[in-house]
Amino acid sequence: MFDQMPPEDADALAHHTPPKDFRDRFALRLVKSMRVFADKFFAKRYGHRAVVLETVAAVPGMVGGMLQHLKALRTIRDDEGWVRELLDEAENERMHLMTFIKVAEPSRLERYLILLGQGVFFNLYFLLYLFAPRIAHRVVAYLEEEAVISYTQYLAEVDAGSVENVPAPQIAIDYWKLPADARLRDVIVVVRADEAGHRDRNHEMADSLAG
C-alpha cells in the first residue's frame, strides 16, 4: 500500500518537484496542457471535475501494474513490490471516483467524456509506459501535483461557503473509516492526502528508473 501523506501537512501537500531534464520537462508541459483544458471546461465545478479526472487517474496504476507484472514474468525477476503498489494506487483512485460520483452525480455528457477520456488515455499511457516508463511515472507525479492543487481549491470553496458541505457518502465513510457524521470537507482532505502520496511515490519511481 502507498504511504499516505498526513492530511493537513501543508508544506508536504504544496511540494513541487522541478524537472531535471528534457524528459521531465516534456512530462510537465504535457500535464500543464491537460490542466488548461480542465480549467476551461469545468471552471469551479470541482465535484464534476473530480468525476471525469478520477476515471483517468485510475488508469496509470492498472497499466503500470500490468506491464510490471509482465516484465517480471518475462525477465524472471522479483518485481520489488511495484505490481501490488501500482494496483493499490489504481484501486485507491477508483474509490475516489466512486465517491465523487455520489457527490456530483455526473450528467450524460460527462459520462460520455468519461468513456472517451478513459479510452484515449488508456491507449496513449499504455504506449508511453511500454517505451518510456520513467516519463510515464513522471507524468503521473505531475498529474498528482495538479490534483493536490485542485483539491486545495475545492476545499477553499467549501470553507468559503461557495460549495455546500454536504454529508460524506457512505462509501467514503466506509473506505477511509471516517466518522459517521463526516462531511464533504473531510472527504476532500483525505482524498487530497492520497493524491499527495501518489505524487511523491511516482516521483520516486521515476527517479529509480533514471539510472
- For 146-162, what is each residue's pLDDT tens digit? 899 889 989 999 999 99
The more confident residue out of 13 and 101 is 101
Q: What is the pLDDT of residue 55?
A: 83
C-alpha cell at 117: 477520456
For 99-150, write each residue's pLDDT tens digit: 999 998 877 887 887 788 888 889 999 999 999 999 999 999 999 998 998 8
Q: Using the structure block, give the residue that is written with the C-alpha cell 471516483.
A: 97
What percent of the chain clears pLDDT 70, i.e. is strictly above it? 90
Q: What is the pLDDT of residue 96?
A: 95
Mean pLDDT of 9-24: 79
Q: How far apart are CA 14 and CA 36, in angstroms?
A: 20
pLDDT band, residue 3 (cuts 50/70/90): very low
**11 pLDDT above the threshold of 70:** no
CB neighbour class for 3 (10 Å; exposed up to 12, middle 13-18, buried from 19): exposed
Q: What is the pLDDT of residue 2?
A: 44
pTM of the model: 0.88
CB-CB neighbours of 31 under 10 Å: 18
Q: How far apart are CA 168 and CA 105, in angstroms?
A: 14
**1 pLDDT above the threshold of 50:** no
Q: What is the pLDDT of residue 108?
A: 84
